[in-house]
Structure 1
Amino acid sequence: MGSGVAPKVPPSPTPVSAATPPTTPLVVQGRGGGLGEVARRRFLLALLVRKELRVRYRASVLGLGWSYVKPAVQFGVYFAGLGMVLRQNAIGDYAVYLFGGLVVMTTFGEAVGNATRSVVANADLVRKIYLPRELFPVSSLAVAGVHLAPQLLVLLVGAVVAGWSPDLVGVGALVAGLVLLAVLALGLGLLLGAVNVLFRDVENVVDLVLVVLVWTSPVLYPWQRVADLLGADSTWFRLYQANPLTVAVELVHRGTWSHASPGNAGAMPPGLGGRCAVAFTVALVTVVVGQWVFGRLSGRFAQEL
Protein backbone atom coordinates (compact mmCIF):
# COMPACT_ATOMS: atom_id res chain seq x y z
CA MET A 1 0.00 0.00 0.00
CA GLY A 2 1.40 3.45 -0.85
CA SER A 3 1.54 6.32 1.53
CA GLY A 4 -0.64 8.43 -0.77
CA VAL A 5 2.09 11.13 -1.20
CA ALA A 6 2.69 12.05 -4.86
CA PRO A 7 6.35 11.92 -5.93
CA LYS A 8 8.07 15.27 -6.62
CA VAL A 9 8.61 16.00 -10.28
CA PRO A 10 11.65 18.21 -11.07
CA PRO A 11 10.76 21.42 -12.92
CA SER A 12 11.35 21.32 -16.63
CA PRO A 13 14.27 23.50 -17.83
CA THR A 14 13.45 26.80 -19.42
CA PRO A 15 13.57 26.37 -23.19
CA VAL A 16 16.36 28.25 -24.98
CA SER A 17 15.45 29.92 -28.23
CA ALA A 18 17.45 28.47 -31.07
CA ALA A 19 17.19 31.76 -32.88
CA THR A 20 19.30 33.64 -30.31
CA PRO A 21 22.22 35.21 -32.24
CA PRO A 22 25.77 34.69 -30.95
CA THR A 23 27.13 37.54 -28.87
CA THR A 24 30.52 37.54 -30.62
CA PRO A 25 30.63 37.83 -34.41
CA LEU A 26 32.59 35.19 -36.26
CA VAL A 27 35.89 36.32 -37.76
CA VAL A 28 37.63 34.61 -40.66
CA GLN A 29 41.12 33.88 -39.39
CA GLY A 30 44.02 35.17 -41.48
CA ARG A 31 42.16 38.18 -42.86
CA GLY A 32 42.73 41.63 -41.48
CA GLY A 33 41.57 45.16 -41.99
CA GLY A 34 43.89 45.94 -44.88
CA LEU A 35 46.17 48.95 -45.01
CA GLY A 36 44.02 50.75 -42.43
CA GLU A 37 44.97 48.13 -39.85
CA VAL A 38 48.64 48.57 -40.75
CA ALA A 39 48.30 52.26 -39.93
CA ARG A 40 46.82 51.35 -36.54
CA ARG A 41 49.69 48.95 -35.79
CA ARG A 42 52.62 51.23 -36.53
CA PHE A 43 54.56 49.73 -33.61
CA LEU A 44 54.57 46.31 -35.30
CA LEU A 45 55.60 47.95 -38.57
CA ALA A 46 58.56 49.63 -36.84
CA LEU A 47 59.59 46.28 -35.32
CA LEU A 48 59.53 44.56 -38.71
CA VAL A 49 61.58 47.35 -40.31
CA ARG A 50 64.20 47.20 -37.55
CA LYS A 51 64.31 43.40 -37.79
CA GLU A 52 64.86 43.47 -41.56
CA LEU A 53 67.61 46.09 -41.31
CA ARG A 54 69.28 44.23 -38.45
CA VAL A 55 69.23 40.91 -40.33
CA ARG A 56 70.46 42.49 -43.56
CA TYR A 57 73.48 44.18 -41.97
CA ARG A 58 74.31 41.56 -39.35
CA ALA A 59 78.08 41.01 -39.07
CA SER A 60 78.63 43.79 -41.62
CA VAL A 61 81.47 46.27 -41.20
CA LEU A 62 79.88 49.09 -43.21
CA GLY A 63 76.32 48.40 -42.11
CA LEU A 64 73.96 51.02 -43.51
CA GLY A 65 76.94 52.50 -45.36
CA TRP A 66 76.28 49.94 -48.09
CA SER A 67 73.27 52.03 -49.08
CA TYR A 68 75.83 54.65 -50.19
CA VAL A 69 78.36 52.26 -51.72
CA LYS A 70 76.01 50.24 -53.96
CA PRO A 71 74.40 53.17 -55.82
CA ALA A 72 77.77 54.92 -56.04
CA VAL A 73 79.35 51.89 -57.76
CA GLN A 74 76.35 51.51 -60.06
CA PHE A 75 76.53 55.20 -60.91
CA GLY A 76 80.25 54.95 -61.64
CA VAL A 77 79.82 51.97 -63.98
CA TYR A 78 77.01 53.58 -65.97
CA PHE A 79 78.74 56.96 -66.08
CA ALA A 80 82.02 55.46 -67.31
CA GLY A 81 80.37 53.12 -69.81
CA LEU A 82 77.72 55.47 -71.21
CA GLY A 83 79.10 58.88 -70.40
CA MET A 84 82.73 58.36 -71.34
CA VAL A 85 82.87 55.36 -73.69
CA LEU A 86 79.61 55.89 -75.62
CA ARG A 87 79.73 59.70 -75.33
CA GLN A 88 76.27 59.89 -73.83
CA ASN A 89 77.44 62.86 -71.78
CA ALA A 90 76.30 65.19 -74.55
CA ILE A 91 73.43 65.70 -72.08
CA GLY A 92 74.20 68.69 -69.90
CA ASP A 93 75.11 67.72 -66.32
CA TYR A 94 74.84 64.08 -67.26
CA ALA A 95 76.00 62.89 -63.84
CA VAL A 96 73.02 64.54 -62.12
CA TYR A 97 70.64 63.37 -64.88
CA LEU A 98 71.88 59.79 -64.61
CA PHE A 99 71.92 59.58 -60.84
CA GLY A 100 68.44 61.11 -60.55
CA GLY A 101 67.02 58.34 -62.72
CA LEU A 102 69.00 55.65 -60.93
CA VAL A 103 67.66 56.80 -57.56
CA VAL A 104 64.12 56.22 -58.82
CA MET A 105 64.82 52.86 -60.43
CA THR A 106 66.95 51.36 -57.65
CA THR A 107 64.43 52.38 -54.99
CA PHE A 108 61.55 51.00 -57.03
CA GLY A 109 63.44 47.77 -57.74
CA GLU A 110 64.31 47.23 -54.08
CA ALA A 111 60.79 48.01 -52.85
CA VAL A 112 58.93 45.83 -55.37
CA GLY A 113 61.48 43.00 -55.35
CA ASN A 114 61.54 42.70 -51.56
CA ALA A 115 57.76 43.15 -51.25
CA THR A 116 57.26 40.29 -53.71
CA ARG A 117 59.25 37.99 -51.41
CA SER A 118 58.06 39.50 -48.12
CA VAL A 119 55.22 37.11 -47.25
CA VAL A 120 57.22 33.99 -48.17
CA ALA A 121 60.26 35.31 -46.29
CA ASN A 122 58.14 35.70 -43.13
CA ALA A 123 56.49 32.29 -43.42
CA ASP A 124 57.20 31.42 -39.77
CA LEU A 125 55.31 34.47 -38.54
CA VAL A 126 52.43 33.84 -40.93
CA ARG A 127 52.01 30.25 -39.72
CA LYS A 128 52.39 30.84 -35.98
CA ILE A 129 50.64 34.11 -35.10
CA TYR A 130 48.06 36.44 -36.52
CA LEU A 131 49.03 39.96 -37.57
CA PRO A 132 48.01 42.06 -40.55
CA ARG A 133 49.68 40.37 -43.51
CA GLU A 134 49.97 43.73 -45.29
CA LEU A 135 52.66 44.61 -42.75
CA PHE A 136 55.19 42.55 -44.71
CA PRO A 137 55.08 44.35 -48.10
CA VAL A 138 54.64 47.71 -46.36
CA SER A 139 57.74 47.06 -44.22
CA SER A 140 59.69 46.27 -47.40
CA LEU A 141 58.62 49.62 -48.80
CA ALA A 142 59.72 51.34 -45.58
CA VAL A 143 63.15 49.68 -45.72
CA ALA A 144 63.55 50.91 -49.30
CA GLY A 145 62.66 54.38 -48.01
CA VAL A 146 65.45 54.13 -45.41
CA HIS A 147 67.92 53.33 -48.20
CA LEU A 148 66.48 56.12 -50.36
CA ALA A 149 67.42 58.83 -47.85
CA PRO A 150 71.24 58.67 -48.34
CA GLN A 151 70.85 58.36 -52.12
CA LEU A 152 68.63 61.43 -52.17
CA LEU A 153 71.17 63.32 -50.08
CA VAL A 154 73.96 62.45 -52.55
CA LEU A 155 71.73 63.51 -55.45
CA LEU A 156 70.93 66.89 -53.91
CA VAL A 157 74.58 67.57 -53.08
CA GLY A 158 75.60 66.70 -56.63
CA ALA A 159 72.86 68.92 -58.04
CA VAL A 160 74.02 71.86 -55.92
CA VAL A 161 77.61 71.35 -57.06
CA ALA A 162 76.40 71.32 -60.68
CA GLY A 163 74.71 74.69 -60.16
CA TRP A 164 71.20 73.66 -59.11
CA SER A 165 69.06 76.43 -57.70
CA PRO A 166 65.86 75.00 -56.17
CA ASP A 167 62.55 76.57 -57.15
CA LEU A 168 59.08 75.98 -55.72
CA VAL A 169 57.81 74.07 -58.76
CA GLY A 170 60.93 71.93 -58.84
CA VAL A 171 60.67 71.00 -55.16
CA GLY A 172 57.02 70.11 -55.68
CA ALA A 173 57.94 67.99 -58.71
CA LEU A 174 60.62 66.15 -56.70
CA VAL A 175 58.19 65.39 -53.87
CA ALA A 176 55.48 64.34 -56.36
CA GLY A 177 57.91 61.99 -58.12
CA LEU A 178 58.87 60.26 -54.85
CA VAL A 179 55.24 59.97 -53.72
CA LEU A 180 54.25 58.51 -57.10
CA LEU A 181 57.10 56.03 -56.79
CA ALA A 182 55.96 54.96 -53.31
CA VAL A 183 52.27 54.56 -54.27
CA LEU A 184 53.09 52.52 -57.37
CA ALA A 185 55.54 50.30 -55.47
CA LEU A 186 52.98 49.74 -52.71
CA GLY A 187 50.28 48.62 -55.12
CA LEU A 188 52.55 46.29 -57.06
CA GLY A 189 54.12 44.99 -53.84
CA LEU A 190 50.73 43.98 -52.44
CA LEU A 191 49.67 42.34 -55.70
CA LEU A 192 52.90 40.48 -56.42
CA GLY A 193 53.56 39.55 -52.79
CA ALA A 194 50.19 37.80 -52.58
CA VAL A 195 50.47 35.99 -55.92
CA ASN A 196 54.03 34.88 -55.13
CA VAL A 197 52.74 32.80 -52.22
CA LEU A 198 50.81 30.65 -54.69
CA PHE A 199 53.28 30.76 -57.60
CA ARG A 200 56.94 31.14 -56.59
CA ASP A 201 57.96 31.82 -60.19
CA VAL A 202 56.64 35.35 -59.75
CA GLU A 203 59.74 36.56 -57.91
CA ASN A 204 62.00 35.38 -60.74
CA VAL A 205 59.81 37.09 -63.33
CA VAL A 206 59.92 40.29 -61.27
CA ASP A 207 63.73 40.21 -61.19
CA LEU A 208 63.83 39.99 -64.99
CA VAL A 209 61.29 42.76 -65.47
CA LEU A 210 63.19 45.08 -63.10
CA VAL A 211 66.30 44.70 -65.27
CA VAL A 212 64.31 45.68 -68.36
CA LEU A 213 62.61 48.65 -66.66
CA VAL A 214 65.89 50.56 -66.37
CA TRP A 215 65.92 50.80 -70.17
CA THR A 216 62.23 51.66 -70.59
CA SER A 217 62.46 55.02 -68.82
CA PRO A 218 64.68 58.06 -69.56
CA VAL A 219 67.37 57.10 -67.08
CA LEU A 220 70.38 56.39 -69.28
CA TYR A 221 69.31 58.44 -72.32
CA PRO A 222 67.16 61.52 -73.08
CA TRP A 223 63.50 61.13 -74.00
CA GLN A 224 64.16 62.81 -77.35
CA ARG A 225 65.97 59.66 -78.54
CA VAL A 226 62.76 57.66 -78.08
CA ALA A 227 60.70 60.35 -79.82
CA ASP A 228 63.07 60.25 -82.80
CA LEU A 229 62.97 56.46 -82.91
CA LEU A 230 59.22 55.91 -82.49
CA GLY A 231 57.88 59.21 -83.76
CA ALA A 232 56.68 61.99 -81.46
CA ASP A 233 53.05 61.46 -82.52
CA SER A 234 53.06 57.67 -82.47
CA THR A 235 50.94 55.56 -80.13
CA TRP A 236 54.03 53.72 -78.88
CA PHE A 237 55.67 56.96 -77.79
CA ARG A 238 52.51 58.02 -75.98
CA LEU A 239 52.50 54.69 -74.14
CA TYR A 240 56.16 55.20 -73.28
CA GLN A 241 55.39 58.61 -71.78
CA ALA A 242 52.31 57.29 -69.95
CA ASN A 243 54.43 54.79 -68.02
CA PRO A 244 54.21 55.94 -64.36
CA LEU A 245 57.90 55.15 -63.84
CA THR A 246 58.79 57.41 -66.79
CA VAL A 247 56.73 60.18 -65.20
CA ALA A 248 58.43 59.63 -61.82
CA VAL A 249 61.89 59.86 -63.41
CA GLU A 250 60.94 63.03 -65.31
CA LEU A 251 59.55 64.61 -62.13
CA VAL A 252 62.82 63.93 -60.30
CA HIS A 253 64.74 65.38 -63.27
CA ARG A 254 62.51 68.46 -63.12
CA GLY A 255 63.25 68.83 -59.44
CA THR A 256 67.03 68.33 -59.47
CA TRP A 257 68.45 68.48 -62.98
CA SER A 258 66.53 70.94 -65.15
CA HIS A 259 67.66 74.00 -63.15
CA ALA A 260 71.29 72.93 -62.79
CA SER A 261 72.14 74.70 -66.06
CA PRO A 262 70.11 77.18 -68.14
CA GLY A 263 70.02 74.86 -71.18
CA ASN A 264 68.59 71.91 -69.25
CA ALA A 265 65.16 73.47 -68.68
CA GLY A 266 64.33 73.32 -72.38
CA ALA A 267 65.09 69.60 -72.46
CA MET A 268 62.13 68.66 -70.27
CA PRO A 269 59.25 66.95 -72.13
CA PRO A 270 56.02 68.91 -72.65
CA GLY A 271 52.74 68.04 -70.92
CA LEU A 272 54.36 66.67 -67.77
CA GLY A 273 51.61 68.01 -65.51
CA GLY A 274 48.81 66.20 -67.33
CA ARG A 275 50.74 62.95 -67.52
CA CYS A 276 51.48 63.26 -63.81
CA ALA A 277 47.73 63.25 -63.05
CA VAL A 278 47.24 60.15 -65.23
CA ALA A 279 50.20 58.40 -63.59
CA PHE A 280 48.84 59.03 -60.09
CA THR A 281 45.45 57.67 -61.18
CA VAL A 282 47.10 54.50 -62.48
CA ALA A 283 49.14 54.13 -59.28
CA LEU A 284 46.07 54.52 -57.04
CA VAL A 285 44.14 51.98 -59.10
CA THR A 286 47.11 49.63 -58.67
CA VAL A 287 46.88 50.03 -54.88
CA VAL A 288 43.14 49.28 -54.91
CA VAL A 289 43.60 46.19 -57.09
CA GLY A 290 46.64 45.05 -55.10
CA GLN A 291 44.80 45.39 -51.78
CA TRP A 292 41.78 43.51 -53.15
CA VAL A 293 43.88 40.62 -54.43
CA PHE A 294 45.94 40.56 -51.24
CA GLY A 295 42.79 40.47 -49.09
CA ARG A 296 41.26 37.68 -51.17
CA LEU A 297 44.36 35.49 -50.96
CA SER A 298 45.60 36.28 -47.45
CA GLY A 299 43.32 33.67 -45.86
CA ARG A 300 45.27 30.97 -47.74
CA PHE A 301 48.77 32.15 -46.83
CA ALA A 302 49.26 29.92 -43.78
CA GLN A 303 47.98 26.87 -45.65
CA GLU A 304 50.18 27.51 -48.73
CA LEU A 305 53.29 28.23 -46.67
Structure 2
Amino acid sequence: MSTDELVTPGRGGGLGDVIKSRYLLKLLVSKELKVRYRGSVLGLLWSYVKPGVQFVVFYIALGVFLGLEQSAGNPRGLPNYAIYLFSGIVLINFFTEALGNAARSIVGNGGLIKKIYLPRQLFPVASVWVSGVHFIPQIAILVVACLFNGWRPSLLQLAAAVAGFLIVTLLATGLGLLFGAVNVYFRDAENLVDMLLMIATWASPVLYSWMMVREKLGQTFFNIYQLNPLTVGVETFHFAFWLPTTDGAEAIPPHLLSVWIPVALAISAAVLLLGQLVFRRLEGRFAQEL
Protein backbone atom coordinates (compact mmCIF):
# COMPACT_ATOMS: atom_id res chain seq x y z
CA MET A 1 0.00 0.00 0.00
CA SER A 2 1.39 3.43 -0.92
CA THR A 3 1.60 6.26 1.61
CA ASP A 4 -1.01 8.15 -0.44
CA GLU A 5 -3.59 5.60 0.67
CA LEU A 6 -2.86 5.95 4.38
CA VAL A 7 -5.16 8.08 6.54
CA THR A 8 -4.82 9.38 10.08
CA PRO A 9 -6.57 7.00 12.51
CA GLY A 10 -9.89 8.34 13.71
CA ARG A 11 -10.28 10.78 10.82
CA GLY A 12 -12.84 10.23 8.10
CA GLY A 13 -13.54 11.71 4.72
CA GLY A 14 -15.83 14.48 5.90
CA LEU A 15 -19.45 14.92 4.88
CA GLY A 16 -18.81 12.65 1.92
CA ASP A 17 -18.71 9.77 4.39
CA VAL A 18 -22.21 10.73 5.56
CA ILE A 19 -23.51 10.30 2.03
CA LYS A 20 -21.75 6.94 1.71
CA SER A 21 -23.15 5.85 5.10
CA ARG A 22 -26.79 6.73 4.45
CA TYR A 23 -27.95 3.49 6.03
CA LEU A 24 -26.07 4.25 9.26
CA LEU A 25 -27.53 7.76 9.22
CA LYS A 26 -31.02 6.30 9.00
CA LEU A 27 -30.29 4.00 11.95
CA LEU A 28 -28.95 6.87 14.05
CA VAL A 29 -32.00 9.03 13.31
CA SER A 30 -34.29 6.13 14.25
CA LYS A 31 -32.28 5.52 17.45
CA GLU A 32 -32.44 9.19 18.50
CA LEU A 33 -36.20 9.31 17.99
CA LYS A 34 -36.75 6.10 19.97
CA VAL A 35 -34.49 7.17 22.83
CA ARG A 36 -35.99 10.64 23.02
CA TYR A 37 -39.56 9.39 23.35
CA ARG A 38 -38.89 6.27 25.38
CA GLY A 39 -41.34 6.26 28.28
CA SER A 40 -43.14 9.31 26.90
CA VAL A 41 -46.94 9.34 26.85
CA LEU A 42 -47.32 11.89 24.06
CA GLY A 43 -44.28 10.84 22.02
CA LEU A 44 -44.05 12.69 18.71
CA LEU A 45 -47.08 14.78 19.72
CA TRP A 46 -44.62 16.92 21.67
CA SER A 47 -43.72 18.33 18.24
CA TYR A 48 -47.17 19.92 18.28
CA VAL A 49 -47.44 20.77 21.98
CA LYS A 50 -44.17 22.68 22.47
CA PRO A 51 -44.53 25.15 19.57
CA GLY A 52 -48.23 25.48 20.35
CA VAL A 53 -47.56 26.60 23.92
CA GLN A 54 -44.75 28.87 22.75
CA PHE A 55 -47.04 30.45 20.16
CA VAL A 56 -49.86 31.09 22.64
CA VAL A 57 -47.49 32.75 25.15
CA PHE A 58 -45.90 35.04 22.56
CA TYR A 59 -49.20 35.84 20.87
CA ILE A 60 -50.89 36.92 24.10
CA ALA A 61 -47.85 38.84 25.35
CA LEU A 62 -46.93 40.57 22.10
CA GLY A 63 -49.97 40.41 19.87
CA VAL A 64 -52.59 41.26 22.50
CA PHE A 65 -50.83 43.07 25.35
CA LEU A 66 -48.23 44.98 23.31
CA GLY A 67 -50.53 45.56 20.34
CA LEU A 68 -48.60 43.94 17.50
CA GLU A 69 -51.84 42.39 16.17
CA GLN A 70 -53.66 44.74 13.80
CA SER A 71 -57.23 45.58 14.78
CA ALA A 72 -59.83 48.28 14.28
CA GLY A 73 -58.41 50.16 17.25
CA ASN A 74 -54.80 49.43 16.31
CA PRO A 75 -54.23 49.98 12.57
CA ARG A 76 -50.43 50.14 13.00
CA GLY A 77 -50.22 46.47 13.98
CA LEU A 78 -49.45 43.56 11.67
CA PRO A 79 -52.42 41.91 9.89
CA ASN A 80 -52.74 38.19 10.58
CA TYR A 81 -50.08 38.49 13.28
CA ALA A 82 -50.83 34.91 14.35
CA ILE A 83 -49.63 33.62 10.95
CA TYR A 84 -46.67 36.00 10.99
CA LEU A 85 -45.65 34.80 14.44
CA PHE A 86 -46.09 31.07 13.88
CA SER A 87 -44.29 31.03 10.52
CA GLY A 88 -41.24 32.49 12.25
CA ILE A 89 -41.50 30.23 15.30
CA VAL A 90 -41.62 27.10 13.12
CA LEU A 91 -38.33 27.92 11.43
CA ILE A 92 -36.51 29.23 14.49
CA ASN A 93 -37.55 26.15 16.50
CA PHE A 94 -36.03 23.94 13.83
CA PHE A 95 -32.77 25.88 14.07
CA THR A 96 -32.57 25.94 17.86
CA GLU A 97 -33.35 22.22 18.20
CA ALA A 98 -30.96 21.24 15.40
CA LEU A 99 -28.03 23.30 16.69
CA GLY A 100 -28.61 22.50 20.37
CA ASN A 101 -28.70 18.75 19.79
CA ALA A 102 -25.90 18.72 17.19
CA ALA A 103 -23.58 20.62 19.55
CA ARG A 104 -24.06 17.89 22.18
CA SER A 105 -24.17 14.94 19.79
CA ILE A 106 -20.51 13.89 19.97
CA VAL A 107 -20.26 14.05 23.76
CA GLY A 108 -23.69 12.45 24.09
CA ASN A 109 -22.60 9.49 21.96
CA GLY A 110 -19.18 9.20 23.58
CA GLY A 111 -19.73 5.60 24.63
CA LEU A 112 -20.41 4.52 21.06
CA ILE A 113 -17.56 6.59 19.62
CA LYS A 114 -15.05 4.97 22.02
CA LYS A 115 -16.14 1.44 21.13
CA ILE A 116 -16.29 1.43 17.34
CA TYR A 117 -15.28 3.60 14.43
CA LEU A 118 -17.90 5.15 12.21
CA PRO A 119 -17.95 8.54 10.52
CA ARG A 120 -18.21 11.05 13.36
CA GLN A 121 -20.06 13.57 11.21
CA LEU A 122 -23.02 11.20 11.28
CA PHE A 123 -23.92 12.28 14.82
CA PRO A 124 -24.45 16.04 14.30
CA VAL A 125 -26.03 15.43 10.90
CA ALA A 126 -28.42 12.89 12.45
CA SER A 127 -29.40 15.49 15.06
CA VAL A 128 -30.28 17.94 12.29
CA TRP A 129 -32.33 15.24 10.55
CA VAL A 130 -34.25 14.49 13.75
CA SER A 131 -35.08 18.18 14.01
CA GLY A 132 -36.32 17.98 10.43
CA VAL A 133 -38.67 15.16 11.43
CA HIS A 134 -40.09 17.40 14.16
CA PHE A 135 -40.32 20.28 11.69
CA ILE A 136 -42.73 18.40 9.41
CA PRO A 137 -45.81 18.38 11.69
CA GLN A 138 -45.22 22.02 12.60
CA ILE A 139 -45.09 23.11 8.97
CA ALA A 140 -48.23 21.05 8.31
CA ILE A 141 -50.10 23.01 11.00
CA LEU A 142 -48.81 26.27 9.52
CA VAL A 143 -50.03 25.33 6.03
CA VAL A 144 -53.49 24.42 7.34
CA ALA A 145 -53.74 27.72 9.25
CA CYS A 146 -52.65 29.63 6.15
CA LEU A 147 -55.24 27.87 3.98
CA PHE A 148 -57.97 28.91 6.40
CA ASN A 149 -56.75 32.49 5.95
CA GLY A 150 -56.93 32.45 2.16
CA TRP A 151 -53.36 31.37 1.42
CA ARG A 152 -52.65 31.35 -2.33
CA PRO A 153 -48.86 31.40 -2.72
CA SER A 154 -47.02 31.84 -6.00
CA LEU A 155 -44.30 29.47 -7.16
CA LEU A 156 -41.77 32.22 -6.40
CA GLN A 157 -42.96 32.41 -2.80
CA LEU A 158 -42.78 28.64 -2.37
CA ALA A 159 -39.29 28.62 -3.87
CA ALA A 160 -38.28 31.35 -1.41
CA ALA A 161 -39.49 29.19 1.49
CA VAL A 162 -37.39 26.26 0.25
CA ALA A 163 -34.39 28.58 -0.03
CA GLY A 164 -35.01 29.85 3.50
CA PHE A 165 -35.17 26.33 4.89
CA LEU A 166 -31.97 25.42 3.04
CA ILE A 167 -30.23 28.51 4.46
CA VAL A 168 -31.14 27.58 8.02
CA THR A 169 -30.30 23.88 7.52
CA LEU A 170 -26.83 24.68 6.20
CA LEU A 171 -26.25 27.14 9.03
CA ALA A 172 -27.42 24.70 11.73
CA THR A 173 -25.32 21.86 10.28
CA GLY A 174 -22.19 24.00 10.01
CA LEU A 175 -22.51 25.40 13.52
CA GLY A 176 -23.44 21.94 14.82
CA LEU A 177 -20.25 20.45 13.38
CA LEU A 178 -18.18 23.34 14.74
CA PHE A 179 -19.55 23.36 18.29
CA GLY A 180 -19.96 19.58 18.38
CA ALA A 181 -16.22 19.17 17.82
CA VAL A 182 -15.13 22.02 20.11
CA ASN A 183 -17.44 20.74 22.87
CA VAL A 184 -15.37 17.56 23.14
CA TYR A 185 -12.36 19.61 24.24
CA PHE A 186 -14.06 22.56 25.94
CA ARG A 187 -17.41 21.84 27.58
CA ASP A 188 -18.01 25.60 27.87
CA ALA A 189 -19.13 25.35 24.23
CA GLU A 190 -22.49 24.01 25.42
CA ASN A 191 -23.09 27.14 27.49
CA LEU A 192 -22.09 29.33 24.56
CA VAL A 193 -24.55 27.50 22.30
CA ASP A 194 -27.33 27.89 24.88
CA MET A 195 -26.64 31.63 24.97
CA LEU A 196 -26.70 31.87 21.17
CA LEU A 197 -29.99 29.98 21.02
CA MET A 198 -31.50 32.32 23.60
CA ILE A 199 -30.54 35.28 21.43
CA ALA A 200 -31.59 33.67 18.13
CA THR A 201 -35.33 34.24 18.53
CA TRP A 202 -34.82 37.94 19.21
CA ALA A 203 -32.03 38.51 16.67
CA SER A 204 -34.36 37.78 13.75
CA PRO A 205 -37.84 39.16 12.93
CA VAL A 206 -39.82 36.32 14.48
CA LEU A 207 -41.75 38.39 17.02
CA TYR A 208 -41.55 41.82 15.42
CA SER A 209 -41.39 43.39 11.97
CA TRP A 210 -38.14 44.06 10.13
CA MET A 211 -39.45 47.59 9.53
CA MET A 212 -39.10 48.31 13.26
CA VAL A 213 -35.38 47.59 13.02
CA ARG A 214 -34.87 49.99 10.12
CA GLU A 215 -37.02 52.71 11.65
CA LYS A 216 -35.36 52.58 15.07
CA LEU A 217 -31.73 51.86 14.16
CA GLY A 218 -31.30 53.18 10.62
CA GLN A 219 -30.37 51.72 7.25
CA THR A 220 -26.71 51.00 8.08
CA PHE A 221 -27.54 48.80 11.07
CA PHE A 222 -30.37 47.21 9.09
CA ASN A 223 -27.91 46.10 6.40
CA ILE A 224 -25.75 44.49 9.11
CA TYR A 225 -28.88 42.90 10.58
CA GLN A 226 -29.67 41.37 7.19
CA LEU A 227 -26.30 39.60 7.13
CA ASN A 228 -27.67 37.17 9.71
CA PRO A 229 -28.81 34.12 7.69
CA LEU A 230 -31.51 33.43 10.29
CA THR A 231 -33.01 36.85 9.59
CA VAL A 232 -33.23 36.11 5.88
CA GLY A 233 -34.61 32.62 6.49
CA VAL A 234 -37.42 33.97 8.68
CA GLU A 235 -38.18 36.71 6.15
CA THR A 236 -38.53 34.14 3.36
CA PHE A 237 -41.05 32.22 5.47
CA HIS A 238 -43.01 35.42 6.06
CA PHE A 239 -42.86 36.12 2.33
CA ALA A 240 -44.13 32.62 1.51
CA PHE A 241 -46.69 31.95 4.25
CA TRP A 242 -47.76 35.24 5.81
CA LEU A 243 -47.74 37.71 2.92
CA PRO A 244 -50.23 35.73 0.73
CA THR A 245 -52.74 35.83 3.62
CA THR A 246 -52.73 39.66 3.69
CA ASP A 247 -54.05 42.13 1.15
CA GLY A 248 -50.59 42.32 -0.40
CA ALA A 249 -49.92 45.83 0.82
CA GLU A 250 -47.35 44.68 3.37
CA ALA A 251 -43.77 45.22 2.24
CA ILE A 252 -40.99 42.68 2.24
CA PRO A 253 -37.38 43.73 2.91
CA PRO A 254 -35.83 45.48 -0.11
CA HIS A 255 -33.83 43.15 -2.39
CA LEU A 256 -34.79 40.07 -0.37
CA LEU A 257 -34.91 37.81 -3.44
CA SER A 258 -32.19 39.36 -5.55
CA VAL A 259 -29.55 40.13 -2.91
CA TRP A 260 -30.20 38.84 0.59
CA ILE A 261 -31.14 35.24 -0.21
CA PRO A 262 -27.95 34.67 -2.29
CA VAL A 263 -25.87 36.40 0.40
CA ALA A 264 -27.42 34.27 3.17
CA LEU A 265 -26.86 31.09 1.15
CA ALA A 266 -23.21 32.04 0.66
CA ILE A 267 -22.72 32.81 4.37
CA SER A 268 -24.41 29.58 5.47
CA ALA A 269 -22.32 27.57 2.99
CA ALA A 270 -19.17 29.27 4.33
CA VAL A 271 -20.18 28.37 7.90
CA LEU A 272 -20.76 24.76 6.81
CA LEU A 273 -17.29 24.66 5.22
CA LEU A 274 -15.71 26.16 8.35
CA GLY A 275 -17.54 23.72 10.60
CA GLN A 276 -16.43 20.81 8.44
CA LEU A 277 -12.78 21.96 8.45
CA VAL A 278 -12.71 22.41 12.23
CA PHE A 279 -14.46 19.07 12.77
CA ARG A 280 -12.00 17.17 10.60
CA ARG A 281 -9.08 18.87 12.33
CA LEU A 282 -10.29 17.86 15.80
CA GLU A 283 -11.99 14.49 15.27
CA GLY A 284 -8.76 12.47 15.39
CA ARG A 285 -8.65 12.61 19.20
CA PHE A 286 -12.36 12.37 19.99
CA ALA A 287 -12.10 8.86 21.44
CA GLN A 288 -9.16 9.79 23.68
CA GLU A 289 -10.74 13.03 24.93
CA LEU A 290 -14.10 11.39 25.63
Q: TM-score range by the shorter chain?
A: over 0.9
In the TM superposition, residue 91 of structure 1 has moved relative to its aligned partner by: 0.4
Count of equivalent residues:
282
In structure 2, the residue matched to 1:158 is: 145
In structure 2, the residue matched to 1:13 is: none
In the TM superposition, residue 268 of structure 1 has moved relative to its aligned partner by: 1.1
Trace 1:88-167 onto structure 2 (pairs within 5 A): 88-89=68-69, 90-167=77-154
In structure 2, the residue matched to 1:41 is: 21
2: CA distance, partners of 1:52 / 1:213? 25
In structure 1, the residue matched to 2:186 is: 199
- Unaligned 5+ residue runs, structure 1? 1-20
- Kindly indicate which of the two structures has a greater share of residues assigned to helix: 2
1:82 to 54, 57, 62: 62
Give the aligned residue type for 1:275: W
2:231 to 246, 263, 276: 246
TM-score normalised to the size of structure 1? 0.90
Where 2:243 maps in the other structure, the secondary structure is coil
Trace 1:165-180 onto structure 2 (pairs within 5 A): 165-180=152-167
2: CA distance, partners of 1:123 / 1:267? 49
2: CA distance, partners of 1:197 / 1:213? 23
In structure 2, the residue matched to 1:17 is: none
Indicate whether 1:66 and 2:46 are aligned: yes
In the TM superposition, residue 26 of structure 1 has moved relative to its aligned partner by: 3.2
Relative distance call for 1:239 and 1:55 in structure 2 (3 A) is same
Where 2:104 maps in the other structure, the secondary structure is helix
Where 1:255 maps in the other structure, the secondary structure is helix
Identical amino acids, percent of aligned pairs: 53
In structure 2, the residue matched to 1:278 is: 263
Relative distance call for 1:241 and 1:22 in structure 2 (3 A) is closer
After superposition, give the CA deviation of every residue in 1:197-226 in whole Å (9 maximum; x if it has no partner).
Answer: 110011111111111111111110111111
Relative distance call for 1:303 and 1:161 in structure 2 (3 A) is same
2: CA distance, partners of 1:57 / 1:209? 26
In structure 1, the residue matched to 2:213 is: 226
Give the aligned residue type for 1:286: V
In the TM superposition, residue 133 of structure 1 has moved relative to its aligned partner by: 0.2
Where 2:264 maps in the other structure, the secondary structure is helix
In structure 2, the residue matched to 1:26 is: 6
Q: Which has the larger radius of gyration?
A: 1
TM-score normalised to the size of structure 2? 0.95
RMSD (CA atoms): 1.3
